[in-house]
Amino acid sequence: MTSRERVHAMFRGELKDGFCMSIGGMANDNMSAYAYAKLLRYLGMDRPLYIYDLLQNIAQLDPEVIGRLGGDFVHAQRPKYRFNQDQKLWKPGTLRDGTPCYYASEYDPKDDGKGNLIIEMDGMPYAKMPKNGLYYDIIASPLADVEDPEELRLFHPAVPMSDEDVSWTAGEIRRLFETTDKAIVLNFAGQLVEQGQRDFGFESFYYNLAAEQELMHAYFRMITDVYMSNLSRILALAGDMVDVVWFCDDMGTQKALQFGIPMYIEMIRPYEKEMWDFVHAHYPHIKILFHCCGAIFDLIPHLIGTGADMLNVQISADGMDPQRLKDTYGKDVIFWGCGVDTQRLPQMKTKEEILGHVRRLVDVFSKGGRYVFSQVHNFQADTAPETICAIYDMVREIRDARER
């Protein structure tokens, strides 16, 4: 069967102990551009290297590479994914190690004279990549001092998309639908918590969430209205070709939730539910995939109740034991990921240790067939291509054997 057929069979509950696979099918199961460049060389595949996520230096995986590794999904993204940099056109550049690549045509970081790269947004220094660093850090909190709802302003990515950008996104969905046999993920995000943390800064965001709830409801209402407009216009043009919409908000730390469940129910859930209900009501074939890192075990039933069909979680956080996750929630949600603990991967010394670790996780999560294999978050820059290929080749063999 084709990848798209396999995914649809999983959605219908027909895979039994089969499962799907993803690599680069959504924003959190991809890889560093440095790792991707090494992978392309290892595979002998001459492909251009596009940096679609400037914050983390994440590559846009070629559909042929996804197919080589056994992936069943591709993702379509909005053209202004990071820092309001338009990716409809690209320009040549290099990574910091000299590797040729392509950046968004508007990408023009400034050197601060100390070797740090600075990106400006809305006229302010907004993000910094330290000298010899691999990622950008957000260095501005444009709403940090706002106390009156009338002073709230919109910042990327919670800004209205132009009709041109909506049409371009729909065109990307159509292109992937027509040129691949993969299931299509709309890389949407729709962040509430993380957008608030960027806009207010972490300290002010948490304070306001507890003490300035009228302000925060006004803020969440403002950005949700924009998200709803953007989402509805994209899906109106291409919703029949979309299989999954990806949403993202980290609500846990390594040790605990970032805020209590009552606060989630009061402050966050109504706006998530509005977006997810819209998708389910108007496009019942589309599944909601929600990425949420951290120790969120007790929050999961509330996420499912809000409308998450698929969850991408972090198994290395406290309380996130794989068997416990599957036993408790596996009948109610499709787990996406959880197949390679990338936080522990650097400590694994042998191929046998890595593959044994992966096989155990596949056995846990694939039981019953409601599972999409991928690693926990993006492969980092130092991940060897031999490791990536060994993992995905083994898992693909397991998947294919179960289908025979």
Apex 51 CA angle, 102 and 233, nearest 5:
110
Answer yes or no: is pLDDT of 67 > 90: yes
Apex 254 CA angle, 300 and 211, nearest 5:
75
pLDDT at 356: 96
DSSP string across 346-363: GG--SHHHHHHHHHHHHH
Query: Which amino acid is it at 55?
Result: L
Cβ-based neighbour number of residue 17 at 10 Å = 12
pLDDT at 142: 96
Distance CA 130, CA 134 (A): 8
What proportion of the chain, given as a percentage, has pLDDT over 90?
94
Residues 18-40 have a mean pLDDT of 96
pLDDT at 276: 98
Split at pLDDT 50, 70, 90, the class of 66 is very high
DSSP string across 258-317: SS-HHHIIIIIHHHHHHHHHHHHHH-TTPEEEEE--SS-GGGHHHHHHHT-SEEE--TTS
pLDDT at 17: 84
DSSP string across 53-69: ETTTTEE---HHHHHHH
Q: Which of 388, 371, 294, 292 is nearest to 329 (CA)?
A: 371
Distance CA 336, CA 250 (A): 15
Residues 136-149 have a mean pLDDT of 96
Integer-rounded Cα Rg, in Å, for the chain is 20
Give the pTM.
Answer: 0.96
pLDDT at 199: 97
Quick: pLDDT tens for 314-369: 999 999 999 999 999 999 999 999 999 988 888 888 999 999 999 999 999 999 99
pLDDT at 404: 80
Answer yes or no: is pLDDT of 242 > 90: yes
Quick: pLDDT tens for 156-202: 889 999 999 999 999 999 999 999 999 999 999 999 999 999 999 99
83-103 burial, b at 16+ Cβ within 10 Å, e below that, comes to: bbbbbeebeeeebeeebebbb
pLDDT at 224: 98
Answer yes or no: is pLDDT of 225 > 90: yes
Phi, psi for residue 117 in degrees, rounded to 5: -100, 135
pLDDT at 122: 85
The DSSP call for residue 162 is P
Q: Which of 53, 54, 48 is nearest to 99 (CA)?
A: 48
- What is the total residue count of the chain? 404
326-339 burial, b at 16+ Cβ within 10 Å, e below that, comes to: beebbeebbbbbbb
DSSP string across 114-139: SS-EEEEETTEEEEEE-TT-SS-EE-
Answer yes or no: is pLDDT of 150 > 90: yes
pLDDT at 279: 98
CATH number of 3-29+69-76+143-403: 3.20.20.210
Answer yes or no: is pLDDT of 289 > 90: yes
Residues 243-272 have a mean pLDDT of 98
As given in the structure block, the two tokens for residue 147 are 């106390």
Whole-number average pLDDT of the chain: 96
